Amino acid sequence: MKTIYGAVLAGAMAMGASVAQAADDVTLQLKWVTQAQFGGYYVALDKGFYEEEGLNVTIKPGGPDVAPAQVIAGGGADVVLDWMPSALASREKGLDLVNIAQPFKSSGMMLTCRKDSGIATPADFKGKTLGVWFGGNEYPFLSWMNKLGYSTDGGEDGVTVLKQGFNVDPILNGQADCVSTMTYNEYWQIIDAGLTPDELVVFKYEDQGVATLEDGIYVIGSNLEDPAFADKMVRFVRASMKGWKWAEENPDDAAMIVLDNDATGAQTEKHQTRMMREIAKLTAGSNGALDVADYERTVQSLLSGGSDPVITKAPEGAWSHAITDKALN
């Protein structure tokens, strides 16, 4: 009897080992550090949604020196998160980046200005100093300035661009009249530093008609020709969107999951909870499939860069519904 039991136990253990080995590895490169901006992916990992799809997902945090396009080009990730302006600029330079899903429906990008700078409308930007993120994040801003007809080389009829670090110091110490902020992050850093909402004027890119798509899911297009890889991405997108919808419905719990995954210990519960609630507003309305109208709006914005557009021609093959058609139906 013991022999039979032992055989059964050994067989069960072997089966368990084979199931564990059968999980397909997927490496995801984030656009920035571990924070609620990526809550859906951490939820999917924590709640076992990836495991349910037979995936062993590794999430690699980003940072100021990490460019997702470079990481995937070098083989350091299977899938990356990037803003569409940066992704399309990389594509035009020869990298076969393809958007396979778009969890973020709305843009969180803003220009936040001190009211005492005299800025009340975009017409007041002339002659002012504006903080701008670079590293691929400058493209929406440059398109906006072109739309307004403002030079970014300074002068009374243009704006002076201050290359902004990933903080809000320039608006606090008087170096800039306005700085780049996200609805879910840097804006609240300004508030936490002591300025009040009444002392600020906020210009949301969404409201200015220059919003571009953020935090899309991208892969190398040629990889999609491999049925095994495509199948992995179907399962990855399905589990990720399950994670995002859970995070939308449970933002405070999702924030705690993010904190549990923050190896640096740099994030705080207050900041991450607030961020997750703001992020939920941006993913709301998306089932994960790229809205073609949103894509076209982004492309038109990037093409309208005057003598120095972000992209010089409309991209071809830059997105695919092949994955979401299978993942979401």
Q: Which CATH number fits the domain that encloses residue 201? A: 3.40.190.10
Give me the sign of the Cα torsion angle 108, 329, 238, 30. negative
Q: What angle do CA 184, 45, 284 make, to 5 degrees?
A: 40
Domain of 164 in residue numbering reads as 109-208
What is the mean predicted confidence (pLDDT) over 78-91?
Answer: 95
- Distance, in Å, from the CA atom of 87 to the CA atom of 92, rounded to the nearest integer, reads 9
In terms of domains, do 30 and 147 share one? no
Residue type, 230: A
In terms of domains, do 100 and 136 share one? no
Claim: this prediction has a pTM higher than 0.85: yes
Alpha helices, DSSP H only, in the chain? 2-22, 39-46, 49-52, 68-73, 84-92, 139-148, 169-172, 186-192, 227-249, 251-260, 269-283, 292-303, 322-327
- Distance, in Å, from the CA atom of 319 to the CA atom of 221, rounded to the nearest integer, reads 9
Q: Please identify, among 208, 228, 244, the residue that sits at the C-terminal boundary of a domain.
A: 208
- Distance, in Å, from the CA atom of 218 to the CA atom of 85, rounded to the nearest integer, reads 12
For residue 18, pLDDT over 50 is answered with no
In terms of domains, do 231 and 181 share one? no
What is the mean predicted confidence (pLDDT) over 305-318?
Answer: 83
Q: Average per-residue pLDDT in the chain?
A: 91
Return the minimum-mean-pLDDT range out of 8-22, 132-146, 155-169.
8-22
Helix (H, G, I), strand (E, B) or coil at 180: strand
Residue 313: phi, psi to the nearest 5?
-150, 155
**Number of structural domains in the chain:** 2
pLDDT-derived band at 63, boundaries 50, 70, 90: very high
pLDDT of residue 21: 57
Contact 89, 310 (CB under 8 A): yes
- Distance, in Å, from the CA atom of 182 to the CA atom of 104, rounded to the nearest integer, reads 13
In terms of domains, do 174 and 227 share one? no
Between the two ends of the chain, the Cα-to-Cα distance in Å is: 49
pLDDT of residue 306: 62
